[in-house]
């Protein structure tokens, strides 16, 4: 709904902090009054502040305590995605605002992307592609790369995504070890007490952990040193988990062999050092972004909204 449209008091007002596909927008408009957060100025906000009851965000959205207080009627924040790092969860709990997300939908897509990144980094797929495109093959063969199958996989954070990565890795005859908040009783993989212990005992270190203060800078210079000169780091968790300055130095000095990253400390800005290094594979926070996955995410977000407000799904 644009700010010029007349409101329909029969439908809950939903503030959008994320773009919607036309089909999804049409579906939500049948049940909700939609407001674009970017189009709500201060004057209009004062008129609406007691009427907005829900927000729809994405995993990159920032919703602070101050923002929540601007909407005193807010009951629900729905995040289209797995991460809720940008949502002040403590403030939401204090203010009685429920925060929903779709944790199950994207795990398989992220795991697929993780193995693709790791394969690309170890077998140097991107670099070899450019080697052929640039016409360098007639001057000599491409140098040998690292073996992928039968290696030692270490996973930081054995949640839904970490487990999906482990299952795929077993198909490549890898041994699996992991670390996290606590050991899991329902998996056969080897537990390590610390990320430093894990890094010292694996070839591939895959970061699937959540962001936040507890994991900030967890992958530091000591961990990278322990991973070693044939080790490969993959990060599909959060950019804050890896000390980027330490990683850049480790890659420059060949303390580790390579890094494959889908998340970054200051995304969408990416360090020129990282983009200029030959032993990196970099993707733009797209591990969960498949057409089918996004459809599933929005469907689950819609289900959260309808369930909260006691609305029945629209049928054609």
Q: What is the pLDDT of residues 85-133, one digit of tens each?
A: 788 989 999 999 999 876 667 899 999 999 999 999 999 999 999 999 9
pLDDT at 5: 42
Q: What is the pLDDT of residues 187-244, one digit of tens each?
A: 999 999 999 999 999 999 999 998 888 999 999 999 999 999 999 999 999 999 999 9
* pTM for the full predicted model: 0.84
Q: How far apart, in whole angstroms, are the C-alpha atoms of residue 128 and residue 262? A: 20
Tell me where in the chain the CATH 3.40.50.720 domain(s) lie.
13-102+292-309, 107-282
128 burial level (CB within 10 Å; 0-12, 13-18, 19+)? middle
SS3 41: coil
Which positions are catalytic?
238, 267, 285
Round the average pLDDT of the chain to a whole number and report it: 90
Homologous superfamily of the 13-102+292-309 domain (CATH)? NAD(P)-binding Rossmann-like Domain (3.40.50.720)
Fold of 107-282: Rossmann fold (3.40.50)
Q: How far apart, in whole angstroms, are the C-alpha atoms of residue 156 and residue 114? A: 13
Strands annotated E in the chain: 13-16, 33-36, 52-58, 76-80, 98-100, 152-156, 175-179, 190-191, 204-207, 232-235, 258-261, 280-282
- Say yes or no to pLDDT of 44 above 80: no
pLDDT at 1: 40
pLDDT at 85: 73
CA 297 from centre of chain: 13
Q: What is the pLDDT of residues 238-290, one digit of tens each?
A: 999 999 999 999 999 999 999 999 999 999 999 999 999 999 999 999 998 89
pLDDT at 6: 42
Residues in the chain: 316
Q: Which residue's structure tokens are 């029969």?
A: 10
- Say yes or no to pLDDT of 10 above 80: no
Is there a contact between 204 and 197 (Cβ–Cβ < 8 Å)?
A: no
Burial 249-271 (b: 16+ CB within 10 A, else e): ebbeeebbbbbbbbbbbeeeebb
pLDDT at 24: 87
pLDDT at 163: 97
- Say yes or no to pLDDT of 316 above 70: no
pLDDT band at 297 (very low <50, low <70, confident <90, very high): confident
CA 217 from centre of chain: 17
- Say yes or no to pLDDT of 8 above 70: no
Mean pLDDT, range 294-316, rounded to an integer: 85
Token pair of 210 as six digits: 């959540």
pLDDT at 313: 79
Looking at residue 134, what DSSP letter applies?
T
DSSP per position, 287-309: TT--HHHHHHHHHHHHHHHHHHH
> What is the layout of strands, in order, in the sheet containing 33-36?
33-36, 13-16, 52-58, 76-80, 98-100
């Amino acid at each position: 709904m644009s700010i010029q449209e007349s409101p329909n008091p029969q439908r809950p007002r939903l503030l959008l902090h994320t773009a919607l596909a036309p089909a999804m927008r049409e579906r939500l408009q049948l049940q909700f009054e939609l407001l674009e957060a970017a189009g709500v100025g201060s004057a209009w906000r004062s008129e609406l502040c007691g009427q907005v009851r829900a927000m729809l965000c994405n995993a990159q959205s920032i919703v602070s305590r101050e923002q929540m207080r601007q909407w005193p009627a807010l009951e629900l924040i729905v995040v289209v995605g797995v991460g809720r790092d940008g949502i002040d969860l403590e403030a939401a709990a204090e203010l009685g605002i429920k925060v929903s997300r779709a944790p199950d939908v994207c795990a398989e897509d992220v795991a697929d992307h993780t193995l693709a990144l790791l394969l690309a980094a170890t077998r140097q797929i991107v670099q070899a592609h450019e080697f052929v495109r640039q016409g360098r093959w007639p001057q000599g063969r491409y140098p040998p790369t690292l073996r992928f199958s039968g290696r030692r996989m270490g996973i930081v954070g054995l949640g839904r995504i970490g487990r999906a990565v482990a299952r795929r890795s077993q198909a490549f005859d890898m041994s699996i070890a992991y670390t996290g908040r606590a050991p899991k009783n329902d998996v056969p993989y080897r537990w390590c007490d610390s990320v430093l212990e894990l890094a010292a005992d694996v070839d591939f270190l895959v970061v699937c952990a959540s962001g936040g203060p507890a994991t900030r800078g967890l992958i530091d210079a000591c961990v990278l040193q322990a991973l070693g000169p044939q080790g490969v780091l993959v990060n599909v968790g959060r950019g804050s988990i890896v000390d980027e300055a330490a990683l850049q130095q480790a890659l420059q000095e060949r303390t580790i062999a390579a890094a494959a990253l889908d998340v970054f400390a200051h995304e969408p800005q990416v360090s020129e050092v990282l983009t200029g290094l030959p032993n990196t594979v970099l993707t733009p926070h797209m591990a969960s972004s498949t057409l089918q996955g996004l459809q599933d995410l929005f469907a689950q977000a819609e289900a959260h909204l309808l369930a909260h407000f006691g609305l029945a799904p629209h049928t054609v």
